Amino acid sequence: MTRYLVVLFVMVLTAVVLATFSFEDELPPLPDDPQNRGTFYYSDTTGVGSLDPGRTSASIDFRVLKCLYQTLMVYAQGGETLEPGVAESYELSEDGKTYTFQLREDAKWSNGEPVTASDFFFAWRRAMLSETGSDYASLFYLIKGGQAFSYWRAGLLDYSSLELVIEDQEERTAFKAKYPELQAQSNLSADEKWDLTVKHFDQTVGVKVLGEWTLEVTITNPASYFIELCAFPSFSPLPQRVIEQNMLAMLDDGTVRMDPKYWDDPERLVTNGPYMLERNENKRRLVMDQNPHYWDRDRMGNLRIVNVVVPDESLAFALFEDGQLDWIASISSSELRAKIYSIDYYEITKSNPSSDDGTGVINSIDHYPYIHPSPRAGVYYYQFNCRPTLSNGLDNPMADVRVRQALGMCIDRKKIVESVTRNYEPLAYTFVPVGSIPTYNAPVEAGLRFNPAKARELLAEAGYKDGEGFPAITLLINASGTGGGGHEDIALVIKKVWEEELGLPDVGIEAPEFQVYIEQSKRGDFAIRRAGWYGDYRDPTTWLDMLRSKDSNNDAGYNNPEYDGLLKRAAVEADPERRMQILREAETLLLTEAPVVPIYYYKEAMVFDETQIDLRPNAWNNLRLDLVRKKRVD
C-alpha cells in the first residue's frame, strides 16, 4: 500500500537528506534462507543504556534484552499469555511455593554451548549480590532467603553498611543476632569472602540446581505473579564460564565486578535468545542478527533487527514514509502527533478524558492509517525528593509532606493532556493505573485534585506563605529518551502554575540527555523530577514496591515505616482478596504522603503498517519482535 500524509506539515527534508541514512552499511549480507526472511527496522530517539540484564531498568533496554536473551518463560505474541521459553515445562507444589522447571535440552548460547540450570542459578545469584546494584534486586526477594542473602552479603563486604541497609533498628538487631559471626567474617580476605558467599547462598537461598536441566525455585509465600517474573528480562540466564572470564579482578574488599565493556562488545557478548549482538554503535545504530543456535529459529519472522537512533521524530516519520523504517516505537512529540492526526479527526466519547476516574478514551473516525494509539499499563508522574537535605547540602522543603501536597494540587492534569500532550491520555489520580489489575480496586478518591486555594493554605502552614522564603528549585527532566522530548512543555505549564498560584520564585528546568538524567535520578541529585513507570508484571507491587524505603528504584528517598509495614503484611498475606485490600491501604497512604504525584496514564502513539507487520501492541508492552515477519528485499 502506498503511504501518504493526511496532514501537511512544515518539514524541509529532501531526498538527498534521506539518502544519507544507510542502515545497512558495512553489515554482512544475510545468510541464505528458505523462508526468504529479511530485516526489521525500527527507531528510538536514543540508544540503549545498558545490555546487562542484571542491572538495567529502562524500557528501551528491555526491548533489546528480550531479543538477546530468553528467560524460563516468555510472553506469547499479543502479550496476554505465557508460553515456554528455556523452560520446556514446570510443576508447582501443592503449597504454591516450589516451582520445578525442566529446561529444554536444545536451548543453546550463541557460542553453541548448552543453556543449563546452572546458568540461571549463576545469573540470579549475581542479581542478589549487593555490589551488583541491580535495579530490580527486590524482585528476587520473593525467593526464599533472597533478601536476607543480600543483607548478609552487604554486611560481609562492609559490616557497618548494615546501619544503612537495614534501617529498622529492631530488624537490624535481630539480623545481627542471627549472624553473630558476620562482623568477624567481614575481615576475611577477598577470596575467603567469596568462598563463604557461595556456600551461604547454597545453604540459605531457595534456588537449587537439581540436574543439568532441572531448576528448583522456592518462594517465601504463594504469589501467582512469580511465573510472570520468570518472563522478565532481569531473570535472564548468563553463561557462567563466559561471565567469569570477563570479570575484573576481585577488589580487596571482596566485591565482584564485571568489565562494563563486555556488554557492548559483539565479539565477547554471548546470549541465548533469538538474536546475538552484531553491532552496537552508541547513539546511532544497534544491530542484532539471528542466533544460529537458537532452538526456535525456524519460527522467527526475520533474520536481523536494526534499531536506529533518530533523535528527531519528524525525521523518523519521514524515514517511515520513505519506506526505510518499519516501526517507530513511539511518537511522543505533541506537535508531530497533532500533525499526524488532528483532533478534528476524533470524537471524544461520553466517558470524558478529564473525568476523575481517568477512563476517558478517543474514538478514531478518520485518521492517518499507520498511527496506532495504544493504552499502556504505565503512569507519567512527578516525583519529589523526600530526603531531609538536597545534594547541595541545603535543607529540602520537599521533605515536608505539606509542600509536596501543595505542589501536587497545582498540577492541572486536564490542561496537560488536552493542550500540551494533545493525546488525551486518561488522567491519573492513582499510581497503579486504574483497571490494569482486574482484582485490584485502585483508591482513586485518595489522589490529589487540582485545588490551588487549598494548596496555598498548605504552603502557608509549612512556613512559605505566598511563596515567601521558598528556595529556588529546579525540575529535572530528560531531553530525549523514554517519553521523548515533550517533557519541557509539561514542565513549563506546571512551573507557571507554581509561580503564579503559589508565589514560588523562578523554577528552573534542567534537561540533560537521557543517561545523565538516569544517573542523576539514581544519585538523588534533584529536587523534583519527571518520571514514568510501566508495569513489569500483573500485580500492584510492580508500582508500589518501588517506593519501599530500601528499594533500589526508590529514587525519591521516600521512607515511611508504616508504608513499608503494609507492603510486608501484603507479602505474607495468603488470602488474595485481603492482600489486595492491604495494598490498597498502602497506595492510599502513598497518594496522601505524595512522594509521587501521578499525572496521566500512558497512551503511546506507535507508527507502523499493520498490513505489513504483525506487531500486536498491548498494554503491557510484551512485544515479540522475533516473530515480526519481514520479507527479504534484494
Mean pLDDT for 54-74 is 94
Rounded distance between C-alpha atoms, residue 93 and residue 382, angstroms: 42
The reported pLDDT for the residue numbered 83 is 97
pLDDT, tens only, 129-182: 999 988 889 899 999 999 999 999 999 999 999 998 997 889 999 999 999 999
Rounded distance between C-alpha atoms, residue 193 and residue 197, angstroms: 6
Dihedral sign from CA coordinates of 426, 427, 433, 437: negative
pLDDT at 483 over 90: no
Count of CB atoms situated within 10 Å of the CB of 631: 12
Residue 126, φ and ψ in degrees, nearest 5:
-60, -40
C-alpha cell at 471: 528556595
pLDDT at 331 over 90: no
Mean pLDDT for 450-469 is 97
C-alpha cell at 500: 503564579
**CA 129 → CA 72, 146, 198, 201, distances in Å?**
21, 10, 11, 10
The reported pLDDT for the residue numbered 467 is 95
Closest CA to 494 of 380, 387, 394: 380
Rounded distance between C-alpha atoms, residue 140 and residue 222, angstroms: 14
Confidence of residue 486 (pLDDT cuts 50, 70, 90): confident
C-alpha cell at 55: 542491572
**CA 262 → CA 52, 108, 191, 277, distances in Å?**
9, 20, 23, 12
Rounded distance between C-alpha atoms, residue 335 and residue 165, angstroms: 45
> Are 30 and 38 within 8 A, CB to CB?
yes
Rounded distance between C-alpha atoms, residue 311 and residue 442, angstroms: 36
Mean pLDDT for 532-537 is 91
Residue 337 or residue 531, greater confidence: 531
pLDDT at 396 over 90: yes
**CA 533 → CA 77, 202, 330, 360, 522, distances in Å?**
22, 34, 15, 20, 15
Grid look-up 508447582 returns 92
Mean pLDDT for 117-137 is 94
The reported pLDDT for the residue numbered 254 is 78
Instruction: List beta partners, residue 248.
Output: none
The reported pLDDT for the residue numbered 34 is 96
- To the nearest whole number, what is the mean pLDDT of the chain? 90
> Are 607 and 374 within 8 A, CB to CB?
no
In degrees, to the nearest 5, what angle opens at C-alpha 279 toward C-alphas 282 and 480? 25
